[in-house]
Amino acid sequence: MKDLKFIAQQLRKPSGDFTGTIAEKMDVANRPLYELMLHSITFRDHDSILEIGFGSGTHFPDLLTRANGLEISGIDYSPEMTELAKKNNKELVESGQLTLLKGNSSQLPFEDSSFNTVLCNMVVYFWDDPSEHLDEIIRVLKPGGMFYTGMRTRESMLKFPFTKFGFNLYSTDDWKSALQSHGYKVVGDHRKNDPVFDDDGDQVQLESVCIAAEKQYEQIKKHMKEEGENLKMNLEK
């Protein structure tokens, strides 16, 4: 039981001497999901992209080849993982192509309408209150910007006993409803079965899902209205 709790804690926020080990295991386990996401995203030259929960960051060189002049930022909850990713991408960080920050997606340190695309893989399980994260993401998305959620189906995640400790699991329909209630329009649902792997003698197959959602026009109008009201209040002072 203690081991399961420890695994869950490390997956939520890798720390200490286990950071490197957890990073390696996550890289292998989540590669099929990441490949599905890359296939799902439409990349355009000079887009600005934000990744939430980037882990070891070993995928960033591949991500930067998807279009010309991409500007990529990342934010991760774990200080140790942030430093590891910076080390793994030293040249990209120094060149300015990649900006990596330690932080929480409930309080994103970016201006409104900063990104064409926001993505996260295997992160939403650790949002105790997804509302504040979804509101922040839609704030930093440009009009018509896209948010891609990479996750495993709820049935897949229940195969792991450690998910009983601190994981908030969603069915794909539940997650779509959460997106729609926060001003997103769900425009894509991409699924793929992962390769079968051995888990202590058991043959396990997971199903990866990438849900694509667009910042809706109604959300943009709401933001413009709020900005207008704020301006009016300032002028009346």
pLDDT tens across 22-57, in order? 888 889 989 999 999 999 999 999 999 999 999 999
Residues 199/122, Cβ–Cβ less than 8 Å:
no
The burial class, CB within 10 Å (0-12 / 13-18 / 19+), for 226 is exposed
Q: Which two tokens stand for residue 74?
A: 């990342």
Predicted local confidence at residue 222, as pLDDT:
57
* DSSP H or E stretch at residue 62: helix 60-64
* DSSP H or E stretch at residue 9: helix 2-12
- Say whether pTM exceeds 0.85: yes
Q: How many angstroms from the chain centroid is the CA of residue 22?
A: 17
Per the structure, the count of domains in the chain is 1
Confidence class for position 225, pLDDT limits 50, 70, 90: low
For the cut 60, the answer to whether the pLDDT of residue 235 exceeds it is no
Mean pLDDT of the residues in the chain:
90
Predicted local confidence at residue 216, as pLDDT:
85
Residue 219, domain CATH: 3.40.50.150
Mean pLDDT of 167-193: 96
* DSSP H or E stretch at residue 53: none
User: What is the β-pairing status of strands 184-193 and 141-152?
Assistant: unpaired
Cα–Cα dist 119/72, whole Å: 11
Domain of 81, in residue numbers: 2-236
* Range with the poorest average pLDDT among 31-45, 98-112, 210-224: 210-224
